[in-house]
Amino acid sequence: MMVRRRNSLAAGEVTELSRKVEENLFSCDDFLDRQRILYYLSFNKEVSTDRMISRSLILQQKVYVPRINKSAKKMEICQIKSLGVDTELNDFGIREPVHVPVEFPKNIDVVITPGLAFDRSGGRIGFGGGYYDTLFAELWKSSLLIGVAYSFQILDSLHQDFWDKKVQKVITEKETLNGLGIRKPLAV
């Protein structure tokens, strides 16, 4: 149902809603204070990240994107210096960088995370591969996990399995949900 709704968006709607998500993201001090950002390379009708990536590069943030290593069944992290980097489509139809060295996940300050749906407590349903959940477990606890989605992808609650990792923020075109899925204790 969620995929059908998202895929029914017209190209102009994706552009307009993605720009609003972008504005909300770049209004977030927690995000702007970080320097090493992992974005996904959007495909189909996902919230588009290309303008966000370009904007981060202009702000001189270091930008990383994922690449799937099928044999290891995990996500590799690659730094890009422009959207003009060579890419090829993986088995899922998602752009991935080629001829770019792999970086350590511990270097990432923020992960901009896609999903089919999010809930108001930071729960996330992805595409079933577990790649982001595995990556989240490899990051420093101080890394900020931000879900980006359209407002119709926000549900009151989602069933979560023990391996599902939550995000701390979800940003849509209409709102920013904060303080979700806290990963580290607050300083006293």
In the numeric block, the tokens 């966000």 are attached to 52
In this prediction the pTM is 0.92
Report the C-alpha gap between 1 and 6 in whole angstroms: 9
- Residues 183 and 188: their CA atoms lie apart, in Å, by 16
Which helix or strand (DSSP H or E) is residue 115 part of? none
pLDDT tens digit sequence for 89-138: 898 889 999 999 999 888 899 999 999 999 999 999 988 788 998 999 99
* Domains, the chain: 2-177 (3.40.50.10420)
In this prediction, residues 22-32 reach a mean pLDDT of: 96
